[in-house]
Amino acid sequence: MAAQDRVEARRLKGFRDLLPGVAASKEKIIQIARQEAYLAGFQPIATPALEYADILVGSGGGETEKEVYKFQDHGERLVGLRFDLTVPFARFVAEHQNELAFPFKKFQVDEVWRGEKPQKGRYRQFCQADLDIVGADSVAADFEVISTLLRIIEGTVNQPFTMMLSHRAVISGLIKHFFPAFDTAGENSALIALDKLGKVGAEIVQNMLVQIPGGTEAGAKSFLQVISRKDAAGHSDLAAIGDVVASDAVAAGGIARLDELIALLSPVIPKSGKVLVDLSVARGLGYYTGVVFETTIDSLPGFGSVSSGGRYDQLLSRFTNRSLPGVGGSLGVDRVLGALEELQKIPTTAAAKVYVAIATEDAQTYGIQLALELRQSGIATDYALSAGKLGNQFKYADKNGCPLVVTVGSDELKAQQFSLKNMRTGMEEKGLAAAGLVRKIQVALQ
């Protein structure tokens, strides 16, 4: 092709390619999530990446909505790429409610898109693994989502982590108590301000609260004080908070729900995990109504959450008049992947265990036969696609990280033998009988 017709190979800002080692690690994360979800009876579903824009927007996604990729399709419909899996799931449940048995426990792994400002470790396309239960408002449902996520986080992160539990009704009760002059918009603004506490600190949040119409400095100070107070076990001080909101039945119910949930979770918290009640966790998304949570990796304090979610009892009411309370949570698959990269736990390649080198062209078919035999025994095997220089073939195996190289040429073909080199130890054996290939390789890989 003429050089002037050439297109520069370039990617869109904020998007990434995954090279084999990273792609294999992502796949492993998804497999662990899938296996735990399957064991816990969550059923897989899938929805399209594109939805009518009005399905996505106006769903309480808050600031996220501005980031939705929206455009006109070939039929001049206004469409958008989903920005999460929860809103399309609500649409899915409303549309298929007569085909599902409730409570419906769903599992979905899929990519989502947000045109947000790219930051280190955050991309405009990312993968989520979502567990949701709709049609149940019991603490057992909250427990089921959260305990399954704890197992998934334990299995994928493989590092000390902390899940913080909070409750929207308790936060709302505190806001109502300390800012009696706030209207509904003011209460929402207060929630959004609180959500920034971890990032910007108490002083800035206090200022934000004071500036909301009806906000007072005294109210803001007391609010932040109560919400930040911890008991001996490191939980938010639910006894003190309970006193403040005692006359608010909904908020008091939230405290009771947190107590019950902690009691259920205590025996199943994974060895590497902690679960703490932390009422300063608010979660930005508008649709949450009950328990909310997020999870951080202890050794990566600035990295942000790898798994979050909560109860959303009203979300489905956008689409259906049937009352279907829901609770759900997400593993941020690409967030976990980013954390493993940060912790340098990602292999550099994802190559086969054995590479069959071809010394002479007449041995190509023989080499293929040996490779197929190994694959048949479940051993991932690659082979040379032409009989080039042996030195180059060994370099290739080395660059790909193959631990074992089998070599065959004219002599080996005649004698039905092979040579074996262990790329880690450098040890080489010649004249091995082809009949013993699989066993020999199995032993060498142990």
Scanning residues 162 to 221, which ones bind a second copy (CB under 8 A)?
Answer: none
Measured in whole angstroms, the distance separating CA 262 from the mean position of its chain's CA atoms is 23
**Residue 82 near residue 101 (C-beta atoms within 8 A):** no
DSSP 3-state assignment of 61? coil
Backbone angles phi, psi at 379, to 5 degrees: -100, 120
Whichever of 351 and 444 has its CB closer to a second copy, that residue is: 351
Q: For a second copy, which is the closer residue by CB, 133 or 227?
A: 133
Closest separation in Å from C-beta 20 to a second copy: 4
Tell me the number of residues near a second copy by CB under 8 A: 103
Which one, 230 or 322, has the nearer CB to a second copy? 322
Which residues pair with residue 111 across a beta bridge? 127
- Could you tell me if 186 and 214 are in contact, meaning their C-beta atoms sit under 8 angstroms apart? yes
**Residue 404, both tokens:** 């074992």
Q: How far is the CB of 161 from a second copy (least distance, A)?
A: 20
Q: Which of residues 244-273 bind a second copy (CB under 8 A)?
A: 264, 268
* Residue 391 binding a second copy, by CB under 8 A: no
Residue 293 or 383: the one with the smaller Cβ distance to a second copy is 383
| DSSP letter for each residue of 432-444 | EEGGGHHHHHHHH
Is residue 423 within the footprint of a second copy (CB under 8 A)? no
Cβ contact 370:356 at 8 Å: yes
127: which 2 tokens?
């993968």
**Rounded Cα distance, 234 and 227, in Å:** 13
Chain centroid to CA 367: how far?
A: 41
Please tell me the distance from the alpha carbon of residue 157 to that of residue 260, in angstroms, as a whole number: 27
Tell me, residue by residue from 61 to 90, as one string, x for binding to a second copy by CB under 8 A and - for no binding.
Answer: ------x-x-xxxxx-x-x-x---------
- Residues 106 to 135 in contact with a second copy, rule: CB under 8 A: 106, 111, 113, 115, 124-125, 133
**C-alpha dihedral, 276 to 205 to 213 to 238, nearest 10°:** 20
User: 156 is written with which tokens?
Assistant: 């994928």
Nearer to a second copy, 154 or 382 (CB): 382
Which of 176, 141, 170 shows the shortest CA–CA distance to 42?
A: 141
Q: Determine which residue in the list 400, 417, 422, 423 makes contact with a second copy, applying CB under 8 A.
A: 400
Cα gap 424→401, rounded to integer Å? 9
Comparing CB distances to a second copy, the nearer of 91 and 177 is: 91
Q: Which of 156, 102, 131, 169 is nearest to 325 (CA)?
A: 102
Query: Which C-beta is closer to a second copy: that of 74 or that of 271?
Result: 74
Under the criterion CB under 8 A, does residue 424 sit at the interface with a second copy? Answer: no
Query: Which residue of 181, 239, 246, 380 would you call a contact of a second copy, by CB under 8 A?
Result: 380
Q: Which listed residue (131, 379, 413, 434) binds a second copy by CB under 8 A? A: 379
- Report the residue from 4, 9, 247, 424 that binds a second copy according to the rule CB under 8 A: 9
Instruction: Give the C-alpha separation, 370 to 214, whole Å.
Output: 78
Cα gap 289→170, rounded to integer Å: 10
Q: Exactly one of 131, 157, 224, 352 binds a second copy (CB under 8 A); which one? A: 352
Q: With CB under 8 A as the contact rule, which of the stretches 290-298, 304-312, 343-351, 423-431 interacts with a second copy?
A: 343-351
Closest contact distance (angstroms) between CB of 267 and a second copy is 8
CB of 71 to a second copy, least distance (A): 3
Q: Interaction with a second copy in 288-327: which residues (CB under 8 A)?
A: 314, 317-321
Binding positions for a second copy, 24-63, rule CB under 8 A: 24, 26-27, 34, 38-41, 43-52, 54-55, 58
